[in-house]
Amino acid sequence: MIAASRCPACGRVAAPPRDRCQGCRARTDDETLDPEGTVLTYTSGAEGWIALVELAGGARTWVQAPSEPTIGERLSVDA
């Protein structure tokens, strides 16, 4: 599992966690998330590929991928 935060006011989930919600400024609660998410889009990086991955609750993060991903594929933040 990976560390994240959830906003009790608007429900926004962020990973890595934030003290204050970036949607509404409320104080957030700690949350843990499955490290596997869905590839929203990707491009080529300096080495390999870099994918924008959506985790549970809508949190988005960048994941380095050694081979070309596909949109909709499941990819793990730990990979």
Site for other proteins in 54-73 (CB under 8 A): 58, 60-62, 64, 71
CA dihedral 3, 55, 75, 42 (to 10 degrees): -120
Site for Zn ion in 30-69 (CB under 5 A): none
Interaction of residue 22 with other proteins, rule CB under 8 A: yes
**d(Cα 27, Cα 29) in Å, to the nearest integer?**
7
**Nearest by Cα to 65 from 34, 33, 17, 53:** 53
- Kindly tell me the sign of the dihedral angle through the C-alpha atoms of 53, 42, 40, 75: negative
Interaction of residue 1 with other proteins, rule CB under 8 A: no
Q: Which of 23, 45, 48, 58 binds Zn ion (CB under 5 A)?
A: 23
Pick 34 or 68: Cβ nearer other proteins: 68
Shortest distance (Å) from residue 67 CB to other proteins: 13
